[in-house]
A and B are shown apart, each in its own frame.
Chain A
Amino acid sequence: MEIFLQQIINGLVQGSVYALVALGYTMVYGILGLINFAHGEVVMAGAMLALSALTAMIGWGAPPLLALPVSLLFAMAGCMLLGFGIERIAYRPLRHAPRLAPLITAIGVSIVLQNLAMMIWGREYHAFPQLISNHPHQIYGAIINDIQIIIVIMALLIMAALMGVVHRTRLGRSMRAVAENQHAAQLMGVDVNRVISITFMLGSALAAVAGLMVSANYGIAHYYMGFLLGLKAFTAAVLGGIGNLRGAMLGGLLLGLIESLGAGYIGDMTGGFMGSQYQDVFAFFVLIAVLVFRPSGLLGERLAERA
């Protein structure tokens, strides 16, 4: 039982990170119908920027509890700038081009960012300083530490805040309007370019938070870390129904749980025939299953009319 509970906790922590990253994919898709494959690299950039800021501040003797939020803000600002730049350079000139074109620039941007990061931060793995205690708490025999609690709570708060922005504010209304029909929104006086830029910046800020969370949790940052994480989060977004914010959150959490429980129990269930080597396969198996049986995702009703 405690093992089962532990796997649930593992899945929730991992799933919250997937959900945060998936939101970035889904917001952009919802508005532009574009899959921003460079998003995983923005997560990586967030982690790297936060790490650089942290290292510098601790070098200057700043207290850790001040350094952490400041470097988070720094990473968010940096990623927002990056997201803005990516949209401006790689996507906006191609907005009315066939859909294939921005997809290819997306992959191009992803490769460029990865190589830039390799040049700036080097090929080696960076250890992320342990600033928050990872003191374990026991819950019915299962263990969760402070960082993990913070990750889950922060992810939930951010998601709630984002829902608030999209459904309650004037900006959110223009975002929804642009998603529904760009031309009509423009005729109604919505500055479409501005809304799209802000969407990219919001998604990138979330990516920065996710990047910091991943690095703080695993104690590691590397120029390559965005790739697999990006793919998994994309899967989560598709699982929940891409273009749908609630879907991205649900998809992220579900994917985390599926992976964790799957890897933990598949060996026992199949009598050792299949083992935990299939952990990464689950995500992509889910992707295929969703695409075959429910292409619009779990909550993605709207997608049918867009595709």
Chain B
Amino acid sequence: MILRSAQLFCFAALVSLLAACDKTPSDQAAASADQVVRIGSVAPLTGPQAHLGKDNENGTRMAIEDANAKGIVIGGRRVHFELISEDDQADPKTATIVAQKLVDNKVSGVIGHLNSGTTIPASKIYSDNGIVQISPSATAVSYTRQGFKTAFRVMANDAQQGRALGEYAVKNLGAKKIAIIDDRTAYGQGLADEFIKAARAAGAEIVAHEYTSDKSVDFTSVLTAVKGRAPDLLFYGGMDAQGGPMARQIKALALNVKLMMGDGGYTPEFVKLAGAAAEGTYASLPGVPLDKMPGGQEFSARFVAKYQPIQLYAPYCYDAVNVMIAAMQKADSVEPAKYMPALANISHQGVTANIQFDDKGDLKGGAVTLYQVKQGKWQPLETVGAGQ
């Protein structure tokens, strides 16, 4: 009985996952438009990273509403953009299913996915079907190294970010013995590996490398194992939902280390979850601080008025949509095959930066900014790399 129940449970869980993805596209087509162009948005809208996923969806939605308000004309016909939002649950398997669904829905382009672990497997499906994909937030290096012409991103990659973090940890913070924890996702692991390379090159010793998952809340046993190696800095490759409780548990175990994270930690959510333990934590975010972005303050004010405070990647999603539409206008076509060359050569002044892509589809000259929590708020420390 138990055995059968457990099997059934797994099966039913799978069915429910599939059912959860089966949402009908939002029916926003205005009657007045002559031509409907569908743009897909994929992010985890349920599960532990739902707060970030909703933020992405809202950033994308705002850009699409703005574009519709402008009454853009492409190929001599007025265009109405339609958002098709899908939930990949931050799960690589689900990501490929919803990617196929977007392809079947004949989208002209996709903004997503949020996580590197979902972006990479989905990118093959978009590439096979010739659909342009711009990830607002996938930072794993390998995403743009698969030889797919359809893959773009509007954020610096982990090689740039990991290097900035690793060098800062050793040179500016004087870390000598560093412990690593990563969440075994393509993002967390990739960033941790780049961090390790840079930290070793700068002369630090990696004394421990432990692992957790992107669903855990209890880190006491790995932190205890780390404590046995007496590091002076702990780098966590993962997201805020784990980083927050981890910061608390570090304090609770009286583990005396500096905590450092990548862009996954740079959220208001992290500070809220970690409480007093957030103080002094370091994190990085590709790009320049929001208030130093070309259109950052204006964007932030409008976004907050419409939805809720920005979690993390909303401005990047907004830019991803706009750069896609700019390429469509330049090529005077909404066919992915026709506007893709225009996108590859575009120079678009976005909210986050002036967006230009290199031959791999990576953002040219991506800057990385380091932040620290001071008095309960993320404060920029310094920006490295060529920013705009």
Interface residues of A (CB under 8 A from B): 3, 6-7, 10-11, 13-14, 33, 35, 37, 99-100, 103-104, 107, 111, 118, 122-125, 127, 130, 134, 136, 143, 145, 214, 218-220, 222, 224-225, 228, 238, 242, 259-261, 263-265, 267, 275-277, 279-280, 287, 291, 295, 306-307
Residue of B nearest to A268 (CB): B225
The 0/1 profile, CB within 8 Å of A marked 1, for residues 32-59 of chain B is 0000000000000111101101100000
User: B241, A242: Cβ atoms under 8 Å?
Assistant: no
Q: Categorize the interface residue count of chain B.
A: 35 or more
Segment from B69-77, B196-204, B213-221 that makes contact with A: B213-221
Q: Chain B residues with Cβ under 8 A from A3's Cβ? A: 224-225, 227-228
Residue in B2, B50, B212, B228 whose beta carbon sits within 8 Å of that of A277 in the complex = B212
Comparing B4-12, B95-103, B343-351, the segment that makes contact with chain A is B4-12
A219 close to B3 (CB less than 8 A) = no
State whether A143 and B47 are in contact (beta carbons under 8 Å apart), knowing that A276-B221, A295-B2 are contacts in the complex: no
How distant is B214 from chain A, measured CB to nearest CB, in Å? 11
Give A277 to B184 CA distance when docked, in angstroms.
7
The residues of B with any CB-CB pair to A shorter than 8 Å are 1-3, 5-6, 8-9, 12-13, 16, 45-48, 50-51, 53-54, 184, 209-213, 215-218, 220-222, 224-225, 227-228, 240-241, 244-245, 248-249, 251-254, 269, 272-276
In Å, the complex CA distance between A221 and B290 comes to 29
Contact A264 B241 (CB under 8 A): no
B252 touches A100 (CB 8 A): no
Instruction: Decide yes or no: A143 and B221 within 8 Å by CB, A123-B54, A219-B275 being known contacts.
Output: no
Q: A7-B221, A103-B8, A276-B225 given as contacts; is B269 within 8 A of A219 (CB)?
A: no
* Chain A interface mostly: helix
Whole-angstrom distance between the alpha carbons of A165 and B45 in the complex? 43
Residues in A neighbouring B53, C-beta threshold 8 A: 123
Q: How many A-B residue pairs have CB under 8 A?
A: 145
Whether B241 lies near A125 (C-beta < 8 A) is yes
CB B255 to nearest CB in A, in angstroms, measures 9
Would you call A291 and B6 a contact (CB within 8 A)?
A: yes
A307 and B224 alpha carbons, distance in the complex (Å): 41
